[in-house]
Amino acid sequence: MTASGTPVRQSSVRAHNLALVLRTVANSADRPSRAAISLATGLTRATVSALVDDLIAGGLLTEHDPAPRTGAGRPAAGLALSPSGPAGLGLEINVDYLAACVVDLTGDVRHRFVTQGDQRPLSPSASLASLGGLALQALEAASADGLAIAGAALAVPGLVAPNGIVRVAPNLDWQDVDAPALFNVLPGLSDLPITVDNEANLAALGELWADGGEQSFLYVSGEIGIGAGIVLGGELYRGGRGWSGEIGHVTVYPDGRPCRCGANGCLEQYAGQEQIAADADLAASALGIALAGVINLLDISVIVLGGTYATEFPRLRAGIEAELARRVLTAGLAPVTLRAAALGPDAAMRGAAGAVIQELIDDPAAFLMRTP
Amino acid sequence: MTASGTPVRQSSVRAHNLALVLRTVANSADRPSRAAISLATGLTRATVSALVDDLIAGGLLTEHDPAPRTGAGRPAAGLALSPSGPAGLGLEINVDYLAACVVDLTGDVRHRFVTQGDQRPLSPSASLASLGGLALQALEAASADGLAIAGAALAVPGLVAPNGIVRVAPNLDWQDVDAPALFNVLPGLSDLPITVDNEANLAALGELWADGGEQSFLYVSGEIGIGAGIVLGGELYRGGRGWSGEIGHVTVYPDGRPCRCGANGCLEQYAGQEQIAADADLAASALGIALAGVINLLDISVIVLGGTYATEFPRLRAGIEAELARRVLTAGLAPVTLRAAALGPDAAMRGAAGAVIQELIDDPAAFLMRTP
DNA sequence: GGGATTTGTTTATTGGTTGAATTATTTGGA
DNA sequence: TCCAAATAATTCAACCAATAAACAAATCCC
């Protein structure tokens, strides 16, 4: 018998509603009152009060003085995510740099550490040890601010299995690297929960959570390889095995240039980092052809270009848009938005830290349970 | 302020758990007992008993005698979906036929009506009137069986807006047709709730609910046009505006044959119905190239071929698989399954009826509320 | 200063699940 | 034949969380 779904008990009701209230505060532009939350969520004021009390006691929300006087009535106490609440540690390993950042509950980047350096000659454990050094610096800086780190997430340029093992990262020359195990073995980092994810996936999440991020878009990251993160309805789509987004090996010219993957005419052979420098027009056209296919298939109306594509955006835009106008079936019915990534090269690291924060916001009950 | 999500009250808990129990019975191969459901869902036996009582009273479940004696103890009463419970009416309009079927709660097709005839010369209201005739026959046949029809769903070969208006159906020459309004205006059908959806989408759902249907796959329907339904994790992905799946206009050869959509080298120009007849190898190769792109992007491991592709499957298979082997990045790590649609040409109609049934199974509380 | 108004809390009630005890119905062994 | 063991289903008191309505708090406006 296949049991799908899980039962709902009263405690799940509370967990759901705690998350609902916290999310409402997080998504709010101003500092909402309990009454405003009640109106927005449909919960009664009494229930909202009870839930807010728990969230304040747990250090996730803070109460502020009422800022603007508006009309009659008792002034409302403004609620906001607590900047001194649990924070997330975002980590990134890429071909030519390591990075770490501390992001608090409100989404502010509190600390940021980057070290340049080619990782290709180093072993995975050497790279992860260097990264561990950065992580310790970040932990120390966070601790000096009175911030507790709830967890860490690591962005890597490769295919990652659900258990955090990096199956293959071609440009780092990694194969079957158990990144969480190698990271947690370092002194001082043994009990820091860490998740690992693909760089483009996390960068896409970073863009999703950045100011003005759309709910559905395709994030395309042009590094040495080309990866994509697919965000549908505010959620990252990971695919059956977590290997979605390999847009670099979508065929553009069936009988075109041979690719290192064995096929011919892959996008990567026309719109990779080197190819952009050599012939920007060809890169834009190839990218446009591939993106049009994605749009026809997924009915996505926003494309976000990251990595090298973000810096080269002015040179690529016209060429891409020309192909989209020609090849997207519904181009006449509704426009496609093409824009550069708002976070630039920090997107993946920011997304990683954000993923830790988001997990807290999506399930505050689990956090409150851990720290009573 | 953007309120995302909805509050959970106690009644939602019951609604959720009613659905959980019903789904558990529906997905079960045998006839589970209350105790088995309790084990599978995690709900207590007391709760399951209470929920099952409601579902039996509402006519959704039936209790059967225990079939096999196994070990000691009081024999278990087997529960199953009621074949005399509410049924779904599946409707389909296509270029050269109209179809209707009645599917009961258990998924059995109880009645099936098809009339051949070219719809292209007819106006939308004329086609829908003919379909109404079929629908009335189906309603009568269902009524003779003592079956109540809970609702209807209509499959059309075109882009459908969320409100049921057919924006465009190129091969029927429809534009902005308010299908629900035209259908409900017919005598005897005025109070039958009807939803409208794309033919490939509903066919994909039909395959999902057929015996042995996978949870994630791409359904490709080769009719005069080429459409696709994307099923991810047991759910149909509709895209931001409900216009996903336009795989027919994915570019295969950027400088290839001109397409009626204005672009060059669309899949439809190489793997449409006429092209298969003319050159099956070319059709298979083009299809393989496009599908490889989808797999790289979405990490989908099952492709289901429907419509003409299902009947031509033996002639196409090798050619498609050759391109997949060459062009799918992870082909070496995990195999891609390619198969013909199990339901053949009935897939869309069956999927439409199934959609009505599935809505009942997903939210039995709404149905029980309506008919106390 | 008093009424109007809005915010937030208190309290009794209700809906729904839980867990333990109870009843029901079979198999198997003395 | 009869009784213990085993499994299925029901009954009932307890509990948890949300609700509705009354109440207290704090401001504005006249």
DSSP states along B238-304: --SSS----GGGSBSSTTS-B-TTS-BSBTHHHHSHHHHHH-HHHHHHHHHHHHHHHHHHH---EEE
Residue range A268-285: mean pLDDT, rounded: 95
Report the top-level CATH class of B87-199+347-370. alpha beta
Q: Span A87-199+348-370: which CATH code?
A: 3.30.420.40
List, in order, residues 6 or more apart from A369 with CB less than 8 Å away: none
| Residues in A touching B334 (Cβ below 8 Å) | 241
Sign of CA dihedral A236, A241, A243, A245: negative
Nucleotide lying nearest to A46, CA to C1' measure:
C9
Among the partner-chain residues B8, B19, B250, the one whose CB lies closest to the CB of A13 is B8
* Strand C within 7 A of B9 CB: no
pLDDT tens by residue, chain B, 372 residues: 333 467 777 788 999 999 999 999 999 988 999 999 999 999 999 999 999 999 999 999 999 886 666 677 788 889 999 999 999 999 999 999 999 999 999 999 999 999 999 999 999 999 999 999 999 999 999 999 999 999 999 999 999 999 999 998 988 999 999 999 999 999 899 999 999 999 999 999 999 999 888 999 999 998 888 999 999 989 999 988 888 999 999 999 999 999 988 999 999 999 999 999 999 999 999 999 999 999 999 999 999 999 999 999 999 999 999 999 999 998 888 899 999 999 988 999 999 999 999 999 999 999 998 876
Residue A52 CA from chain centroid, whole number = 27
CA of B71 to C1' of D2 (A): 20
Asked if the Cβ of residue B226 lies within 7 A of any atom of strand D, the reply is no
Give residue A175's pLDDT.
Answer: 95
Query: Which residue, chain included where needed, has tokens 């000659």?
Result: A121
Cα-based distances in Å from B259 to B247, B251, B254: 13, 10, 11
Give the burial class of A317: count Cβ atoms within 10 A of its Cβ; 0-12 exposed, 13-18 middle, 19 or more buried: middle
Q: Do A261 and B329 touch (CB under 8 A)?
A: yes
Asked whether residue A1 carries a pLDDT value surpassing 50, the answer given is no
How many inter-chain contacts (A to B, CB under 8 Å) are there?
200
Rounded to whole angstroms, the distance from the CA of residue B51 to the C1' of nucleotide D10 is 13
pLDDT tens digits along A189-234: 999 999 999 999 999 999 999 987 899 999 999 888 899 999 998 9
> The tokens of B196 are what?
């409208």
- Nearest protein residue to D6's C1' (by CA)? B73
- In this prediction, residue B72 carries a pLDDT of 77
- Nearest residue on chain B to A239, alpha-carbon basis: B299
CA gap B209, B187 in Å, rounded = 32
Average pLDDT of span A274-289: 96
Q: Under a CB-based contact definition with an 8 Å cutoff, are residues B111 and B138 in contact?
A: yes
What tokens were used for A159?
A: 């295919």
Residue of A nearest to B17 (CA): A7
Q: How far from the centroid of its chain's Cα atoms is residue A335's Cα?
A: 25
Q: What is the mean pLDDT of residues A60-72?
A: 81
* Distance of A15 CA from C20 C1′ (whole Å): 27
| Radius of gyration in angstroms for the set of CA atoms belonging to chain B, rounded to a whole number | 22
Residue among A102, A117, A200 nearest A149 (CA): A102
What is the Cα–Cα distance from B153 to B102, expressed in whole angstroms?
A: 11
Mean pLDDT of all residues in A319-344:
93
CB A125 within 8 A of CB A132: no
Which nucleotide has the shortest C1'-to-CA distance from A33?
C7
DSSP bridge pairs for A218: A230, A303
In this complex, the answer to whether residue A71 has its CB under 7 A from any atom of chain D, a nucleic strand, is: yes
CB atoms A244 and B299 under 8 Å: yes
DSSP H stretches of helix in chain B: 10-27, 34-41, 45-57, 124-144, 179-184, 199-209, 268-271, 273-278, 280-298, 308-311, 313-327, 347-362, 364-370
Which residues in chain B are contacts of A241 at CB distance < 8 A? 299, 301, 330, 334
**Nearest-CA residue to the C1' of D28?**
A72
Q: Which residues of A touch B33 (CB under 8 A)?
A: none
Amino acid at A165: I
pLDDT of residue B67: 62
Per-residue pLDDT, averaged over A108-130, amounts to 96
Could you tell me the distance in Å between the CA of residue A78 and the C1' of nucleotide C8?
12
Kindly state which CATH superfamily the domain A214-341 is placed in: ATPase, nucleotide binding domain (3.30.420.40)
d(CA A358, CA B68): 50
CATH 3.30.420.40 intervals, chain A: 87-199+348-370, 214-341
B354 CA from C24 C1′ (Å): 39
Residue with CA nearest D18 C1'?
A: B9
Nearest protein residue to nucleotide D25, judged by CA and C1' positions:
A74
Grade residue A2 by pLDDT with cuts at 50, 70 and 90. very low
Write the pLDDT tens digit of every residue in A148-199.
999 999 999 999 999 999 998 988 999 999 999 999 999 899 999 999 999 9
Helix axes B10-27, B34-41, angle to 10 degrees: 110
3-state secondary structure of B310: helix
Region A270-283: what's the mean pLDDT? 94
Residue B50 CA to nucleotide D12 C1', Å? 14
Q: What is the pLDDT of residue A136?
A: 97
* pLDDT score for B3: 33
How far does the CA of B77 sit from the C1' of C26, in Å? 13
Domain with CATH 1.10.10.10 in chain A: 10-81
Residue A3's pLDDT is: 33
Contact indicator for A22, B57 with CB cutoff of 8 Å: no
* Cβ neighbours of A332 (radius 10 Å): 10
Q: What was the pLDDT predicted at A68?
A: 66
Give the number of residues written for chain A: 372
Query: For B123, which DSSP code?
Result: -
Q: Is the pLDDT of residue A125 over 70?
A: yes
For an interface test with A, give the residue of B231, B259, B298 to mutate (most A CBs within 10 A).
Answer: B298
Contact B297 A296 (CB under 8 A): no
**Cross-chain residue pair B293–A254, CB shorter than 8 Å:** no
**CATH topology classification for A10-81:** Arc Repressor Mutant, subunit A (1.10.10)
CA of B45 to C1' of C21 (A): 14
* Residue contact A251–B289, C-beta within 8 A: yes
B contact test, residue of A4, A10, A296 with most B CBs within 10 A: A296
- From residue B154, how far is each of B130, B162, B164 by CA, in Å? 13, 13, 9
pLDDT for B68 equals 64
- SS3 string, chain A, reads CCCCCCCCCHHHHHHHHHHHHHHHHHHCCCCCCHHHHHHHHCCCHHHHHHHHHHHHHCCCEEEECCCCCCCCCCCCCEEEECCCCCEEEEEEECCCEEEEEEECCCCCEEEEEEEECCCCCCCHHHHHHHHHHHHHHHHHHHHHCCCCEEEEEEEECCEECCCCEEEEECCCCEEEEEHHHHHHCCCCCCCCCEEEEEHHHHHHHHHHHCCCCCCCEEEEEECCCEEEEEEECCEEECCCCCCCCCHHHCECCCCCCECCCCCECECHHHHCHHHHHHCHHHHHHHHHHHHHHHHHHHCCCEEEEEEHHHHCHHHHHHHHHHHHHHHCCCCCCCCCEEEECCCHHHHHHHHHHHHHHHHHHHCHHHHHHHCC
Q: Distance, in angstroms, between B247 CA and closest chain A CA? A: 5
Specify the DSSP class assigned to residue B23.
H
- Whether residue A323 contacts residue A237, with contact meaning beta carbons closer than 8 Å, is answered with no
Q: What is the pLDDT of residue A334?
A: 84
Q: Cβ–Cβ of B241/A293 closer than 8 Å?
A: no
pLDDT digits (tens, 9 = 90+) for A252-262: 999 999 998 89
Which of A201, A250, A268 to mutate to probe the B interface, most B CBs <10 Å?
A: A250
Q: What percent of chain A has pLDDT over 90?
A: 83
Q: Which residue is nearest to nucleotide C18 (CA to C1')?
A: B44
Contacts of A244 in chain B (CB under 8 A): 297-299
**Which chain A positions have a beta carbon within 8 Å of B239's beta carbon?**
298-300
Confidence band of A5 (pLDDT split at 50, 70, 90): low
Average pLDDT on A118-140 reads 96
Gap from B279 CA to chain A (nearest CA, Å): 18
- Is residue A275's pLDDT more than 60? yes
Contact B253, A254 (CB under 8 A): yes
> In Å, how far is B29's CA from the nearest CA of chain A?
7
> Which regions of chain B carry the CATH code 3.30.420.40?
87-199+347-370, 214-341
